[in-house]
Amino acid sequence: MSLFQIIHFKRIADERGALVALEQHKTVPFEIKRVYYCTGLNPKFERGFHAHHQIQQLAVCVTGSCVMVFDDGVTREEFRMDSQDKGVLIPPMMWHEMKDFSQDCVFLVLASDVYDEADYIRDYPTFVQLSTQLRKSDVYSPAK
């Protein structure tokens, strides 16, 4: 099973241009409390390098392209984002990195909560340790 959950958006296009609309609890499987966009992304640098404890996110390249890397602590997988009608869900406890930005890349993210530094895991060994613990508790919990 892929680490990536792709969400396809409806794109309405005619001679005037294109429009993509994302609605909470419909296209977006959470309440949208934060929206952020990145531009002028330098392909010499990679971004991300963190996971979230709780926050869910939906990412899309509105224009241009980049490569997203997902890592659940065991498997590592890459996905090329190059379509404005295709988003990627970033679930909690998923280490993610972004790279190979095209010059025209506009990277848009919708998040399920406002910024909270305490929700970030920025140290990779800590992330692997936490995800291993969670995996064990998930497998061995008598309640499951």
Q: Which residues of this protein are in contact with a second copy, per CB under 8 A?
A: 13, 15-24, 26, 28, 31-42, 45, 47, 62-63, 84, 101, 104, 106, 108, 110, 114-115
CB 38, min distance to a second copy, A: 5
**At residue 71, what is the residue type?**
D
Pair 81, 67: CB distance under 8 Å: yes
CB 119, min distance to a second copy, A: 14
| Beta carbon nearer to a second copy, 95 or 107 | 107
CB 52, min distance to a second copy, A: 15
CA angle 73, 79, 80 (to 5 degrees): 150
List the catalytic residue out of 50, 52, 53, 96: 50
| Beta carbon nearer to a second copy, 84 or 131 | 84
| Beta carbon nearer to a second copy, 33 or 53 | 33
Whether 50 is catalytic is yes
What beta strand segments (E) does 43-92 contain? 47-52, 57-63, 66-71, 76-81, 86-90
Pair 85, 7: CB distance under 8 Å: no
CB 90, min distance to a second copy, A: 15
| Beta carbon nearer to a second copy, 49 or 134 | 49
| Alpha carbons 57 and 74: distance in angstroms, whole number | 21
Alpha-carbon dihedral sign for residues 96, 28, 107, 117: negative
Q: Which residues are catalytic?
A: 50
